[in-house]
Amino acid sequence: MSVDGAVAHPSRPRVLSIAGTDPTGGAGVQADLKSFAAHGAYGMAVVTALVAQNTRGVRSTLVPDVAFLRAQLDTVSDDVTVDAVKIGMLATAEVAAAVGAWLTAHRPPFVVLDPVMVATSGDRLLDDDAVAAVRALVALCDVVTPNLPELAVLADEPVATTWPDAVAQAGRLARRTGVTVLVKGGHLHAAGSGPTAVGSPDALVDATSVIDLPGERVATTSTHGTGCSLSAALAALRPARPDWASAAREAKAWLAGAIAAGAALRVGGGHGPVDHFHHAPGLGARAFSDEVAGALADATRDSLAVPFVRRLADGSLPYDAFATQLHQDALYLVEYSRVLARAAQLAPGGVAQEFFARGAHACLAVERSLHESYLARAHVRPTGPASPVTRAYVDHLAAVAAHGSYAEVVAAVLPCYQVYAQVGVALLALAADVEGHPYRDWVATYGTAPFTDHAALAGRLADDAARYVDPSTRARMVAAFATSCRHEVAFFGQVPLDAAAPSLPGARVPVGAR
């Protein structure tokens, strides 16, 4: 009797795998636990057999004393409520009988049996004399998930060579045992059947009905553990799904993605495993801001080396050069505002939407204040269109905004915050050494809060956006960020410096944001 039985609604289904091992993690309990986790279940495992195997084949098997198997099963059920069970490799008749006895005594609500007999490598995983015990176990389960050769053994008939024959055979087994059969078509090609062999169909068959589960066939050798992973997904999903058909459809769709992504894992030289976490590509990936930290540091260093910025730092920058730069800045900000508005439009809502919407508004307010303050004081007030450098930068941003996802737009706008904040902090420290520095207020705007806080928040929003994107979107984010960094450096370097031009009439009006 479990002690946690009073907990009616656990946060996750507690699902038990009773199966053999695969030290390379592709099949057996290792695959089952990954499959449970991939479907949000709390996974547990009782080991029936220790199997020295890899993606190429099985080297040896050790079946512990059956008393130890019983001890493992009782250890679980004495303490934990089991919401669902997946049974895999049983190895011997004794093991199958012990599992059957435990099931009879404890019968969890949902039981799936994958009648494992032979591995993909061709190695046997069940003694010949254990077949009768496995047949007896079928009747104690809800769903049995045979591949075509296993179905033939359970039905005691020849292996079906066409899909309609396989479905019919599954129907006979279901009627004889009263158990639902999830018949799997992965071996159809090996069975050498006709046109129905196209694809990788499965079907959920009971005494009176057939539910087709069609599937595309993936051209891959990464099929080690597909049966284990599918049956484990079925057990993990069923407690939170209304029926077996819903759980089976979801499990099959997930497995198709797992098979397609398996080769990229690069595990082993034989039949590789599937990628159980293909649907969570951001899992374990480092933060986006960490990944682009080098590009940001380079852009900051290169910006600080630009003559315009060096003379901004020591206060010797001619005011007209400063004003020319600010004029381009004002033109840039009008376009940058549109891109921030696009980020707000694409944002998932909440903090991100508000941040970018406010940023879009702030750009226009700053653009106005540049004209009313710094630019009004220039000897020759700069006019004219955006320079080629400014144009190139805003064209890049506009292209990402037009074609990119939210994550890419956030990556593209980020350097404008972060390069300016980092350059601002560095310039402020340098300006502190210059008595009566003419640009201190302007520099302080970017080197202190709230601008530095905004830059940090924009970085966190980019990290959030990057967390669950697919690898190609992530690569486009990195590229968009790096391109914006290059434009930032070019932007600082675009005004030719005329040493003879008069320096400053004291700039004093702070700008709220770039």
Ligand X SMILES: Nc1ncnc2c1ncn2[C@@H]1O[C@H](COP(=O)(O)OP(=O)(O)O)[C@@H](O)[C@H]1O
Instruction: Work out whether 227 is an interface residue with ligand X (CB under 6 A).
Output: yes
How many Å apart are CA 47 and CA 54, to the nearest integer?
Answer: 17
Q: Which of residues 43-72 bind ligand LCLJCK34 (CB under 6 A)?
A: 51, 53
Both structure tokens of 117: 């007999």
The one-character DSSP state at 343 is: H
Number of chain positions touching ligand X (CB under 6 A): 19
Asked if 493 interacts with ligand LCLJCK34 (CB under 6 A), we say: no
Number of alpha helices (DSSP H) and beta strands (DSSP E) in the chain = 19, 10
β strands within 407-499, DSSP E: none
Could you say which of ligand X, ligand LCLJCK34, none residue 43 binds, taking C-beta under 5 to 8 angstroms by partner kind?
A: none
Site string for ligand X, 187-226 (x = CB under 6 A): x------------x-x------------x-xx-x--x--x
Query: What is the torsion angle, in degrees rounded to the nearest 10, for the CA atoms of residue 215, residue 217, residue 220 and residue 221?
Result: 80
Minimal distance, residue 205 CB to ligand LCLJCK34, in Å: 19
Q: Which does 256 bind (CB under 5 to 8 A by kind): ligand LCLJCK34, ligand X, none?
A: ligand X
List the single partner that 100 binds among ligand X, ligand LCLJCK34, none, CB under 5 to 8 Å by kind: none
Token representation of residue 514: 């770039």
Do 173 and 134 meet the contact criterion of CB atoms below 8 Å apart? no
Q: How far is the CB of 85 from ligand X (least distance, A)?
A: 18
The minimum distance between CB 148 and ligand X, in angstroms, equals: 7
Q: Which amino acid is at 426?
A: A
Q: What is the C-alpha to C-alpha distance for residues 461 and 355, in angstroms, rounded to an integer?
A: 9
Q: Which does 20 bind (CB under 5 to 8 A by kind): ligand X, ligand LCLJCK34, none?
A: ligand LCLJCK34
- Identify the bridge partners of residue 44 per DSSP, sorted by sequence position: 16
Least distance in angstroms from the C-beta of 186 to ligand LCLJCK34:
8
Amino acid at 506: G
The helix or strand, by DSSP H or E, that contains position 12, with its residue range, turns out to be none
Nearest to 255 by CA among 234, 284, 240: 234
Q: Which of 88, 171, 239, 273 binds ligand LCLJCK34 (CB under 6 A)?
A: 88
| Residue whose C-alpha is closest to residue 462's, from 486, 484, 487 | 484
Q: Which of 256, 263, 287, 479 binds ligand X (CB under 6 A)?
A: 256
Cβ within 8 Å of residue 124, ≥6 positions away: 117, 118
Terminal C-alpha separation, the chain:
66
Closest of 126, 121, 118 to residue 95, by C-alpha? 126
CB 303 to ligand LCLJCK34: min, Å: 55
| 119: partner contacted, choices ligand X, ligand LCLJCK34, none (Cβ within 5-8 A by kind) | ligand LCLJCK34
**Which DSSP symbol is given to 128?**
G
Task: Assess contact for 293 and 477: CB atoms under 8 A.
Answer: no
> Quick count: other Cβ atoms within 10 Å of Cβ 162?
16
Q: Which is nearer to ligand LCLJCK34, 17 or 422 (CB)?
A: 17
CB 25 within 8 A of CB 34: yes
Q: Does 26 bind ligand X (CB under 6 A)?
A: no
CA distances from residue 159 to 180, 210, 213, 247, 342 in whole angstroms, order as listed: 19, 19, 20, 27, 59
| Site map (CB under 6 A) of ligand X, residues 149-188, x = contact | -----------------------------------xxxx-
Residue 32 in contact with ligand X, rule: CB under 6 A: no
Say which entry of ligand LCLJCK34, ligand X, none residue 39 contacts (CB below 5 to 8 A, set by partner kind): none
User: Please, which residue, 231 or 418, has the CB nearer to ligand LCLJCK34?
Assistant: 231
- Look at residues 93, 177, 83 and name the one whose alpha carbon lies nearest to residue 129: 93
State the Cα torsion 347-352-358-363 to the nearest 10°.
Answer: -70
**Beta sheet of 180-184, edge-to-edge order:** 42-47, 14-19, 84-87, 110-113, 143-144, 180-184, 202-205, 210-213
Tokens 């199966």 correspond to 19
Nearer CB in complex with ligand X: 255/455: 255
When CB distances are held under 5 to 8 angstroms depending on the partner's kind, the choice from ligand LCLJCK34, ligand X, none that residue 200 binds is ligand X
Closest approach, Cβ 198 to ligand LCLJCK34, in A, equals 20
- 115 near ligand X (CB under 6 A): no
Q: Which of residues 415-474 bind ligand LCLJCK34 (CB under 6 A)?
A: none
Q: Which residues are identified as catalytic? A: 184, 223, 225-228
Interacting residues with ligand LCLJCK34 between 215 and 274 (CB under 6 A): 223-228
Q: Answer yes or no whether residue 120 interacts with ligand LCLJCK34 by CB under 6 A.
A: yes
Closest CB 268 distance from ligand LCLJCK34, rounded Å: 12
**Interacting residue ranges for ligand LCLJCK34, rule: CB under 6 A:** 19-22, 27-28, 51, 53, 88-89, 116, 119-120, 125, 223-228
**Interacting residue ranges for ligand X, rule: CB under 6 A:** 147, 184-187, 200, 202, 215, 217-218, 220, 223, 226-227, 230, 252, 255-256, 259
